[in-house]
Amino acid sequence: MFNSFKRRLPEVSIFHRPSSPPSNQALKLLRSSLSAHYPPNQPDKPPLDYNLDVVEGPPTPDQLRTIMSYLPSKIMSPSTAFLSAHYAAPAGADRPEGVNEIAKVAQENPSALKWPIVVDWNAGKASVGDIEGVKGILEHLRKRRDGEIKEDDVYQPKGCSLFPTGQGNQDMDIFR
């Protein structure tokens, strides 16, 4: 009865900087995957179907935290993940480590951030400053479309449980 709630379109965001060539390349790749057959070398395949949100600016601190949790390497520091080697980026002792500080630096000087930042919010996947990572996100969407990934294999955030593990509502008289 409620299966239709699970079949929503994936939500993909690109935090885009128009002056960044990799960001422009990623945006072109994402848009073409929505309008032309995907993969491009298989003309019998339809375009991908997802919602694309183009954000011309850096992520918020909360978004940066979430994106950090989606990155493949969990040992990476936020500054390593998000700050570029651009001369305008803080270096050495001035290099911020927390996502709040990184978001502030990105607002003040967008060149300090690695662009693009692409996130598949439904699958829990992200790519920062890496076109190959964007291709990996699109490949995951293709596998989902083509049935190579079951709906159960897709990242599903877990909510909280009313009952501790291993307990049911047998002792909860208010529910009877």
| Phi and psi, residue 125, nearest 5° | -125, 145
> Using 50, 70 and 90 to split pLDDT, how confident is the model at 8?
confident
Domain that holds residue 84: 3-175
Q: What is the pLDDT of residues 25-70, one digit of tens each?
A: 999 999 999 999 999 999 999 999 999 999 999 999 999 999 999 9
pLDDT of residue 169: 44
> Using 50, 70 and 90 to split pLDDT, how confident is the model at 159?
very low
Average pLDDT over the chain, rounded to an integer? 83
pLDDT of residue 156: 52
Of 101, 135, 97, the residue nearest 116 (C-alpha): 135
Q: pTM of this prediction?
A: 0.80
pLDDT of residue 51: 96
Q: How many domains does the chain have?
A: 1
pLDDT of residue 56: 96
**What is the average per-residue pLDDT within 152-165?**
48
pLDDT of residue 172: 41
Residues 148 and 41: beta-carbon distance below 8 Å: no
Q: What are the start-end ranges of the E strands in the chain?
A: 11-15, 51-55, 117-120, 125-128
User: Distance between CA 28 and CA 108 in Å, rounded?
Assistant: 26
Kindly write down the DSSP assignment for every residue of 28-56, as one continuous string: HHHHHHHHS-SSTT-TTSPPP--EEEEES
User: Which residues neighbour 169 within 8 Å (Cβ) at sequence distance 6 or greater?
Assistant: 162, 163, 175
**What is the average per-residue pLDDT within 138-143?**
96
Kindly calculate the radius of gyration of the chain based on its CA atoms and give it in whole angstroms. Answer: 19
**Is the confidence at residue 72, as pLDDT, over 90?**
no
Task: State whether residue 149 is helix, strand or coil.
Answer: coil
Question: Which CATH number fits the domain that encloses residue 159?
Answer: 3.40.30.10
pLDDT of residue 162: 42
**Is the confidence at residue 120, as pLDDT, over 90?**
yes
